């Protein structure tokens, strides 16, 4: 595509920092002077349709310009005005009164030029009319982006998405490199586009030159990833050299939420699109690592023709069914397919690539010397030539598909015995070639369906947030969708589908319930039927009596794809967790069935069939109600006061009396009360409802800290806190004040209507009273604001790491300001994290945002990112309406429209995205993103205390990070007071050198006491120590320290024992403490101050009053696990 010479304005106002209108009427932008912000680059890089763009993306090729050809009827000067208006200054003439909408306001001049106009809504309408829908790019810059992601075994990713894609090979989700190369040839030059095939090439002595394209960047939506390049002509010129070709690689793994059959096909598309004025050729090859995790495996291959297509088939010579090596399937075949007229060849990788580079055509032959994967590495290639000089449109395209086909996808211990499960697509197609043929020619339809889902997702996410958070949330959801489904595999029959799930990267278990639970907001949002397909194998297996315990199992098998159960009952011990998860998800499924079918008795009958096990078969119920009731009985006995056990966050270790876990159990009982109402069991409904109501009152009294500012991590652990993500289920199931559960219509428990109510309220919390007390919502929302870190909300007070799924659960039920703060910080982490694997849900909220010693990646739990949208669909489309805090504004138009119902994707979504970008650009000009404007105030100390919550641990050494000004304990803040000094007691603490102005106490032995003597001093001394958080004991001298109302430190009098529900909150007297002293914290040492991944050391700074003050540091006990 020829491009005119650059025109430059004479006006000094723009030079050298801004764009200008070229002499030929096109709007020009020099990206060397563009701002670094991703939002302006996004606008320029995605102006498609009538706005052909040539230029760089994200500053990756700053020597290239953007050229935007104006559409007919638009005066050329208006485009740079709009674009530079977004930038912040006027173009060219530096005037404000010509060729601009009349209602654009201006401000005072700056350096001789007027500032940008303030763009009001009529201008947004103008932009909507001018720019095509979908023209905006994703503005986040994740380190890894999906290419082909369909199931646990077809999962290929672009690892170095922030850099050129020819610098690294694509990877499997584990990080293992995949043999996947794309080369492009123009005349005597060959260009690597993907992978590192250039390592196999020579140079000019071989008759060709290896050159590199201009990298335009990567973009993505929910189903597609685009890689964009500019390649010059024979002379290798850049984008402005006059000749060349624009190349786009489009990788599509279509998310077809309304078509289970298409979603079940384990295949993806690679489309190569070119636009230019020179002839060129593309080459693509794959190797044997697509069918095995063992580089020494022996493989075989063949080429076959079917219809108008050709397919490479690659498989292990000796398949090992239902076996994995390094998480790769050791059975099944790769099918690499192209049109019949496409050239093909298999040969040694280097030899074949060099011949292509030299200009030779592939020979349509196959090297049939079967061998090991890396033994003279065999590759399987296609090549397609584009004759653009003879094409009147100067464009061309080629399509390839890759599929990983297995005749059996899992083995399942079902009610009829151990069964080899066929893939779901086999219920629709006769054989491999049949499904491959359908899939290839279905590209346009599948792509259109995928585009509809992306547009809907953008629309809904945009209206669920406001300001910069809306754009960040949208991009996170677009990045997450394929990853969720990449952990699943469809099986069963068209009349009774099943969906198997792998606990990717963390354990490899099959159908793990506490992995399905964090993912289930995605399934509720996109297609609730898929959630039924996920739960069905668990329900069938347990209702058949194949699991011996009274509580719900943790998973269906220790190693995917073997759903062989745990007949010995020795699966991972999470009884309260899994019972609560199943009951909550069961109630959500039933609610979706009722809402989808319009309520009434017909919907009730369908819901009852699913609950009792007759779903999809048309046969009699299978008696599953007893299973739901059995799990509820366990929660009644053990849910309110959970014994020492794991929650879903098992990496954090066991802990008794977990506040968040108990809430899940109580909500599970509440859910069962409603399920009993659906099946018509009035006695059970009343019993479970009464228990739930009583338990939630007790929970409320135990959960809060003494100062009532937030909930504790555990009932007995004063000073602790945790992310109360299980509160989400209270709103999702419509139990919160102002919401009405769809299951309520079948309840026989009714209260008399209140004077303001239009109908009677259900007993135990209905549309007005709520179930979980409302103050929990407001307290938690406020508390999260005080403990938020650089990259998000830490999981709890023990660590600085977080789980992104739980962050979104918590954000969904928080006030708008809190929600958008959390989401914006997660977006910052996506842009800056040092992790180099598919989206990890477990990361550090400080430092470089890396892995916290545990490497989670590509896990389907990122379905929890959809928590806000699932909530918006819930409760008749009023799920978010129930969360309206004072001053909240939902979305740009003040909330979900038409009574909260979300509309389809036909709304002017581009106008909304432009509007949010305008807001963001305005925010950026007022406060740079990397400046933290918030000053955190202690909840107990008032305005005199300022805490900096952004200090970091040295994760490599586990030692405190020494800040030259102040080191404080994350999450907790103490009054700044003068102290007279520091000295040892009992001779067991070493006082070492610290940073200037500090004294450092080394890791303590058992029971040391440090005394700070009385007396006034002129120069306060602060000191620092590193101890396991939760193992510290504060002690105060009785009667010598002024009382302070605090949940973090002891009061001035000895702490009096208080026994509630069998929980001793007093703590024991420390043997080494002087008379009159008490521990201010209970003995947390017995509850896991050590994690299984080693001892986490945190930095602490304490400043005390002048009066005599003593604290005790106690050595933690042994870990409560092997």
CATH of the domain at 162: 2.70.98
Q: Are 59 and 41 in contact (CB under 8 A)?
A: yes
DSSP string, 536-554: HHHHHHHHTT---SSSPPS
Q: Are residues 106 and 229 in the same domain?
A: no
Q: Are residues 169 and 122 in the same domain?
A: no
Give the integer Cα–Cα distance in Å for 577 and 212.
53
Q: Are residues 108 and 218 in the same domain?
A: no
The verdict on residue 198 lying in a domain is yes
Q: Which residues of the chain are modeled with pLDDT < 70?
A: 1-137, 233-242, 391, 615-622, 750-768, 881-1122
Q: What is the pLDDT of residue 888?
A: 56
The verdict on residue 243 lying in a domain is yes
The verdict on residue 362 lying in a domain is yes
The verdict on residue 639 lying in a domain is yes
Give the integer Cα–Cα distance in Å for 125 and 910.
10
Give the integer Cα–Cα distance in Å for 512 and 4.
59
Q: Are residues 314 and 426 in the same domain?
A: yes
The residues, any chain, with a CB within 8 Å of residue 656's CB and separated by 6 or more, are 642, 643, 644, 645, 714, 716, 1087
The verdict on residue 1005 lying in a domain is yes
Q: Are residues 1014 and 1089 in the same domain?
A: yes
Of 90, 106, 130, which residue is a domain's last? 130
* Alpha carbon distances (Å) from 785 to 516, 708, 887, 1057: 29, 16, 16, 32
Of 393, 428, 448, which residue is a domain's last? 448
Q: Are residues 173 and 93 in the same domain?
A: no
Q: Are residues 362 and 217 in the same domain?
A: yes
The verdict on residue 839 lying in a domain is no
Q: Are residues 1004 and 1028 in the same domain?
A: yes
**Nearest one of 874, 745, 747 to 812, comparing CA atoms:** 874
Q: Are residues 43 and 150 in the same domain?
A: no
Q: What is the pLDDT of residue 138?
A: 73
Of 448, 468, 483, which residue is a domain's last? 448
The verdict on residue 408 lying in a domain is yes
Q: What is the dihedral of CA 282, 287, 289, 295, to 10 degrees?
A: -140
Q: Are residues 32 and 160 in the same domain?
A: no
**Nearest one of 316, 521, 519, 489 to 409, comparing CA atoms:** 489
Q: Are residues 680 and 625 in the same domain?
A: yes
The residues, any chain, with a CB within 8 Å of residue 768's CB and separated by 6 or more, are 737, 738, 754, 756, 757, 761
The neighbouring-strand residues paired with 1097 are 1028
Q: What is the pLDDT of residue 925?
A: 34
The verdict on residue 895 lying in a domain is no
Q: How many domains does the chain have?
A: 4
Phi, then psi, of 314 in degrees rounded to 5: -125, 135
Tell me whether residue 1096 is exposed, middle or buried, using C-beta atoms within 10 angstroms of its C-beta: 0 to 12, 13 to 18, 19 or more.
Answer: buried
DSSP string, 616-659: TT-S----THHHHHHHHHHHHHHTSS--SB--S-GGG--BSSBH
Tell me whether residue 366 is exposed, middle or buried, using C-beta atoms within 10 angstroms of its C-beta: 0 to 12, 13 to 18, 19 or more.
Answer: middle
The neighbouring-strand residues paired with 496 are 493
Q: Are 635 and 663 in contact (CB under 8 A)?
A: no
* Residue-range definition of the domain harbouring residue 592: 574-703+737-770
Tell me whether residue 1042 is exposed, middle or buried, using C-beta atoms within 10 angstroms of its C-beta: 0 to 12, 13 to 18, 19 or more.
Answer: exposed
Q: Are residues 1058 and 1086 in the same domain?
A: yes
* H/E stretch holding 477: helix 468-485
Q: How many other CB atoms sit within 10 Å of the CB of residue 418?
A: 12
For residue 114, the SS3 value is strand
């Amino acid at each position: 595509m020829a491009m005119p010479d650059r025109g430059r304005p004479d006006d000094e106002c723009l030079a050298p920092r801004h764009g200008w209108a070229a002499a030929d009427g096109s709007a020009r932008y020099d990206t060397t002077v563009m701002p670094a912000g991703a939002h302006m680059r996004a606008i320029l890089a995605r102006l498609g349709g009538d706005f052909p763009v040539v230029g760089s993306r994200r500053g990756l090729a700053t020597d290239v310009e953007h050229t935007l050809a104006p559409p007919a009827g638009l005066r050329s000067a208006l485009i740079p005005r709009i674009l530079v208006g977004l930038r912040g200054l006027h173009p060219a003439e530096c005037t404000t009164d010509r060729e601009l909408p009349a209602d654009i306001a201006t401000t005072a001049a700056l350096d001789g030029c007027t500032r940008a106009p303030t763009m009001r809504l009529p201008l947004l309408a103008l932009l909507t009319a001018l720019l095509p829908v979908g023209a905006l790019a994703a503005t986040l810059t994740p380190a890894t982006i999906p290419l082909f992601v369909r199931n646990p075994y077809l999962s290929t990713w672009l690892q170095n998405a922030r850099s050129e894609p020819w610098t690294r090979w694509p990877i499997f989700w584990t990080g293992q490199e995949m043999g996947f190369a794309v080369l492009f040839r123009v005349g005597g030059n060959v260009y690597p586009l993907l992978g590192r095939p250039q390592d196999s090439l020579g140079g000019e002595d071989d008759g060709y030159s290896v050159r590199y394209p201009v990298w335009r960047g990567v973009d993505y939506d929910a189903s597609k990833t685009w890689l964009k390049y500019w390649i010059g002509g024979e002379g290798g010129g850049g984008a402005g050299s006059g000749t060349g070709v624009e190349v786009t690689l489009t990788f599509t793994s279509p998310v077809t939420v309304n078509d289970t059959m298409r979603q079940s096909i384990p295949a993806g598309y690679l489309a190569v699109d070119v636009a230019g004025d020179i002839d060129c050729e593309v080459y693509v090859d794959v190797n044997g690592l697509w069918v095995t995790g063992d580089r020494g495996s022996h493989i075989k291959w063949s080429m076959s023709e079917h219809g108008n297509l050709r397919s490479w088939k690659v498989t292990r010579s000796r398949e090992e069914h239902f076996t994995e090596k390094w998480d790769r399937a050791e059975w099944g075949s790769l099918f690499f397919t192209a049109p019949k007229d496409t050239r093909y060849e298999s040969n040694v990788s280097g030899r074949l690539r060099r011949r292509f580079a030299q200009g030779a055509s592939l020979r349509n032959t196959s090297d049939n010397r079967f061998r090991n994967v890396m033994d003279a590495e065999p590759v399987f290639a296609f090549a397609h030539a584009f004759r653009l000089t003879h094409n009147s449109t100067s464009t061309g395209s080629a399509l390839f598909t890759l599929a990983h086909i297995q005749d059996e996808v899992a083995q399942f211990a079902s009610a009829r015995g151990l069964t080899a499960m066929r893939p779901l697509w086999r219920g629709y197609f006769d054989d491999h070639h049949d499904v491959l043929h359908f899939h290839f020619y279905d590209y346009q339809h599948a792509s259109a369906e995928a585009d509809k889902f992306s547009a809907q997702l953008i629309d809904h996410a945009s209206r669920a947030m406001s300001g910069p958070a809306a754009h960040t949330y949208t991009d996170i959801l677009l990045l997450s969708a394929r990853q969720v489904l990449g952990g699943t595999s469809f099986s069963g029959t068209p009349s009774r589908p099943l969906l198997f799930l792998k606990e990717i990267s963390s354990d490899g278990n099959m159908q793990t319930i506490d992995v399905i639970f964090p993912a289930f907001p995605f399934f509720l949002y996109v297609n609730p039927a898929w959630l039924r397909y996920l739960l069905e194998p668990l329900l069938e297996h347990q209702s058949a009596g194949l699991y011996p315990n009274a509580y719900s199992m943790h998973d269906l098998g220790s190693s995917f794809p073997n759903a062989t159960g745990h007949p010995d009952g020795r699966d991972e011990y999470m009884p309260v967790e899994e019972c609560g998860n199943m009951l909550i998800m069961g109630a959500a499924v039933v609610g979706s069935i009722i809402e989808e079918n319009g309520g009434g008795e017909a919907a009730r009958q369908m819901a009852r069939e699913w609950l009792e096990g007759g779903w999809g078969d048309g046969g009699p119920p299978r008696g599953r109600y007893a299973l739901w009731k059995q799990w509820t009985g366990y929660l009644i006995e053990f849910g309110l006061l959970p014994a020492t056990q794991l929650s879903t966050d098992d990496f954090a270790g066991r802990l008794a009396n977990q506040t968040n876990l108990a809430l899940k159990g109580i909500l599970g009982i509440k859910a069962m009360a409603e399920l009993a109402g659906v099946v018509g069991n009035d006695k059970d409904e009343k019993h479970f409802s009464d228990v739930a109501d009583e338990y939630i009152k007790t929970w409320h009294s135990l959960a809060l800290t003494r100062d009532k500012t937030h909930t504790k991590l555990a009932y007995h652990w004063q000073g602790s806190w945790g992310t109360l993500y299980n509160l989400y289920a209270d709103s999702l199931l419509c139990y919160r004040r102002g919401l009405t559960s769809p299951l309520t219509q079948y309840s026989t428990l009714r209260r008399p209507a209140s004077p303001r109510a239009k109908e009677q309220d259900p007993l135990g919390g209905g549309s007005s009273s709520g179930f979980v007390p409302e103050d929990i919502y407001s307290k938690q929302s406020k508390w999260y604001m005080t403990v938020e870190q650089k990259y998000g909300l830490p999981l709890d007070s023990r660590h600085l790491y977080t789980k992104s799924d739980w962050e979104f659960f918590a954000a969904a039920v928080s006030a708008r300001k809190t929600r958008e703060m959390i989401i914006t910080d997660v977006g910052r982490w996506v842009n800056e994290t040092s992790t180099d694997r598919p989206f990890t849900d477990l990361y550090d909220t400080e430092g470089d945002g890396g892995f916290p010693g545990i490497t989670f990646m590509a896990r389907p739990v990122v379905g929890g990112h959809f928590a806000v949208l699932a909530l918006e669909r819930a409760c008749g489309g009023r799920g978010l309406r129930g969360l309206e805090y004072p001053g909240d504004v939902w979305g740009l138009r003040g909330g979900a429209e038409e009574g909260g119902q979300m509309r389809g994707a036909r709304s002017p979504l581009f106008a909304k995205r432009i509007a949010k970008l305008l807001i963001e650009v305005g925010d950026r000009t007022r406060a740079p993103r990397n400046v933290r404007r918030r000053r955190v105030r202690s909840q107990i100390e008032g305005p005199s205390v300022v805490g900096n919550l952004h200090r970091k641990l040295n994760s490599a050494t586990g030692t405190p990070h020494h800040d030259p000004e102040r080191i404080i304990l994350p999450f907790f803040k103490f009054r700044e007071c003068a102290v007279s000094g520091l000295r040892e007691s009992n001779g067991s603490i070493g006082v070492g050198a610290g940073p200037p102005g500090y004294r450092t106490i080394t890791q303590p032995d058992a029971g040391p006491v440090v005394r700070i003597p009385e007396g006034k001093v002129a120069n306060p001394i602060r000191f620092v120590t590193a101890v396991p958080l939760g193992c510290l004991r504060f002690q105060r001298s009785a009667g010598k320290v002024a009382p302070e109302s605090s949940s973090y430190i002891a009061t001035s009098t000895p702490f009096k024992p208080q026994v509630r529900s069998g929980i001793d909150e007093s703590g024991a007297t420390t043997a080494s403490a002087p008379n009159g002293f008490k521990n201010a914290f209970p003995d947390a040492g017995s509850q896991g101050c050590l994690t299984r991944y080693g001892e986490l050391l945190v930095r602490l700074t304490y400043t005390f009053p002048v009066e005599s003050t003593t604290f005790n540091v106690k050595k933690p006990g042994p870990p409560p696990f092997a």
